[in-house]
Structure 1
């Protein structure tokens, strides 16, 4: 029997577009990342908000007193009012420096008698100038509202005299500072700025949350969509099996459970495999995976049952001679099975067990041997496969995962086709690539992949599609 290998593998070459780089520029991928990691985005946003609240609570409240000065310049006989106004505007920026000077701080301390240093007084005082005007506002912030008012009153009383002393050295003042507003104490604390702090904490937390979601999506090396799996492997997807919480408790689909997502996905997989029968008959089918816990055994069992329900004589073989699961899933007798045939202690007709109402035959693993790879790769395995071909329309073989052991690869060499099961969001791309390389080394014919445990989307309306509104209303 000649088998052919698929040319595409799970590795990318320099001339092959890298899906991860291309998807980084895809808006849909970013939206998917936000939907996928929305919980961590919300958590980061709330964390940023909580940090902002904590910082705001640690900041000691401060009160502010404001005083507004009008800088007036005297008009001489040789100058016009416009020139005097321009002179005041040029001088007003210098007065801001005087406000923050040590000289003014000493004047305030001497005037008020407050037990403060000049550095502490300077840290409380700030000044600002309205553009293109001669108005200057002096603000004093302090943890004590009373002390803030006392300092502002001292500045309002002494600033004009200090400016005159510095500016004219005892001569007549060319510029005068007149208080036109204040000192006025803000009734509430101006620090901490709760609204600003909360807004910044919210935005920073949201930004960090979005960034971590996009980074996690960017560095995620698993397959999370049909397009990714097709582009990464170059193989068709034969089926996509939805995740159902009940599958862990009951992995095998019962004949009464025909309207579930899993049941419909298995029927679609059965339909897709019939196209391969039309092109090149598939009588022996191996179902395997890259690593453990990807759903290969349940896929093999449910697919075998689906073919049996369609009227095909089907044999399900448990070729996992290391960790067999079929006998536990199907409640089979495990004392005799495939190993009994391979070591010459039984015939197929003697150890096969019927299961279910659809006429499915199952061959359990039997006693676990010390040399599984040698048995599966030996001539007795080839004779068993030949006998199974003659007795059944389809033989489905459940094998161990490809990467831990070589059992699946040697079994695939005597099969007509192989299906590789890939778990959604779990199996890494390099693992799938290594598994396909292992199959290529024995020239196995890889028919395609099955994406398992896919989360059901919001648009999945399969259960409601089966509902008949007329009959439901009549029953109600």
Structure 2
């Protein structure tokens, strides 16, 4: 996953990320406010070599004495929490706790390269923390001086150089630190929640999903708009709209593809992974956009299993491609003029029982080859890839297909399988169209959307 993919996932999952962030921050805040204040008191001891012990041990070299103390002092932090040191503390202060319980309240350390022993005690009572810290320091000093070594005098002397004072402020909870941790933890949890939502969401949601799953260029992004659902193509019904301009952008991109060998015509095969992704709407609007530009266009409804062009355009679909392929009618009987003299439509006709055989017949290929001699653009609306492999057959003739992906309709796994299927049969995807793209209301009532380059675009409300 790239940084861009991460940002897109966060943007898409903000509805999950923000509540997750707030919940974590509130939980940390509640924990901080409800936590019992703790007070820390600290005392400090300094280790020296006892002169009397030095004489009795016949140790005169001060460097040797220093080395000896450094070796011994490393064990004192552990010694401070043993029964020998803590039993007298419990007895002197009348503490109602065991040695292990008291040891958990004490933190003892020997700062690196020093002769110091630091003792810290944290309890919910400031006076008790002070008393225990001072008592442990005194008990440790006595234990080292009187009972730790077998000789009469201990070679090491621990002197209390800093007595514990009464804490004036709680040492925990640290409100500012906890809130900072809460913010950072909330951000992390929010991002993880957004990523988890993105991973669990199996539907195509944006053009970045489409780009991740296909290597083909994005031809255009069609925003959700009521005009698209009308019977007339939006290029005809609302020619000045933003949606019509986006179809013209796709038309411009497709005009650069190479014509079929031996002709000056281009064959465009339009399909999708699943039904209801908008492939028929894309086909009809592309046909209108090319005809608007003065090109001779033939639009063929080759989805014989679920014909939709005649219903979409509200034209007569009683005679169509199925009649031509079964030799029940000729091409002239099945083709209808629509809108302009040079825009012709061939409906699918009635559903045949043997759609695959008809579409894979030599007659189908011969008809397409003949159409390429008469038209500048032949657009074939085919069955979705998840339903049948018709698009692959047509794709071999045209050297590629146009794949339509519908936001919230197309399944990512199904799309990946379709792309792999096309690669297996060596049919490239010449371009993709992202349908039902989000359109948001911007400033001054204008609308913004994401174009084929993934950049935010804004258009005046009256043209949206």
Per the normalisation by structure 2, the TM-score is 0.72
Counterpart of 2:3?
31
What SS does the corresponding residue of 2:252 show, helix, strand or coil? Answer: helix
Residue 184 of structure 1: CA displacement?
Answer: 2.1
- What is the CA deviation profile of residues 264-290 of structure 1, one whole-angstrom value per residue up to 9, with x for unaligned ones? 4223234213x4268643365433345
Residue 142 of structure 1: CA displacement?
Answer: 1.9
Counterpart of 1:419?
401
> 1:254 and 1:164, CA in 2 relative to 1: closer, same or farther beyond 3 A?
same
Matches of 1:269 and 1:168, distance apart in 2? 92
Matches of 1:389 and 1:140, distance apart in 2? 91
Long gaps (5+) in structure 2 = 438-449
- What is the CA deviation profile of residues 439-473 of structure 1, one whole-angstrom value per residue up to 9, with x for unaligned ones? x5xxxxx6851122185356466869xx9xxxxxx
For the 8 Å contact 2:270–2:401, the answer to whether it is kept is: yes
Counterpart of 1:188?
169
What SS does the corresponding residue of 1:272 show, helix, strand or coil? Answer: coil
Matches of 1:389 and 1:155, distance apart in 2? 98
Alignment of 1:13-162 (within 5 A): 30-39=2-11, 60-76=36-52, 78=55, 79=60, 88-162=69-143
Matches of 1:416 and 1:137, distance apart in 2? 82
Matches of 2:195 and 2:314, distance apart in 1? 44
Find out whether 1:397 has 2:384 as its counterpart. no
Counterpart of 2:430?
449
Alignment of 1:274-423 (within 5 A): 275-276=258-259, 280-282=263-265, 285-293=268-276, 295-343=278-326, 346-356=329-339, 359-378=342-361, 381=364, 385=368, 388=371, 392-409=375-392, 418-421=400-403, 423=405
Matches of 2:337 and 2:276, distance apart in 1? 26
> 1:54 and 1:336, CA in 2 relative to 1: closer, same or farther beyond 3 A?
farther
Residue 247 of structure 1: CA displacement?
Answer: 7.5
Counterpart of 1:22?
none
> 1:284 and 1:153, CA in 2 relative to 1: closer, same or farther beyond 3 A?
closer
Counterpart of 2:445?
none
Matches of 1:85 and 1:390, distance apart in 2? 103
Matches of 1:201 and 1:286, distance apart in 2? 54
> 1:61 and 1:263, CA in 2 relative to 1: closer, same or farther beyond 3 A?
same
RCO comparison, higher one (Cα < 8 Å, 6+): 1
Aligned with residue 256 of structure 2, among 254, 265, 272: 272
Long gaps (5+) in structure 1 = 1-28, 441-445, 468-476
What SS does the corresponding residue of 1:404 show, helix, strand or coil? Answer: coil
Counterpart of 2:225?
246
> 1:150 and 1:110, CA in 2 relative to 1: closer, same or farther beyond 3 A?
same
Per the normalisation by structure 1, the TM-score is 0.70
Counterpart of 1:177?
158
Residue 110 of structure 1: CA displacement?
Answer: 1.0
Number of corresponding residues: 422
What SS does the corresponding residue of 1:370 show, helix, strand or coil? Answer: coil
Find out whether 1:263 has 2:235 as its counterpart. no
- What is the CA deviation profile of residues 74-115 of structure 1, one whole-angstrom value per residue up to 9, with x for unaligned ones? 434954777666655444334323311112221111111121
Residue 339 of structure 1: CA displacement?
Answer: 3.1
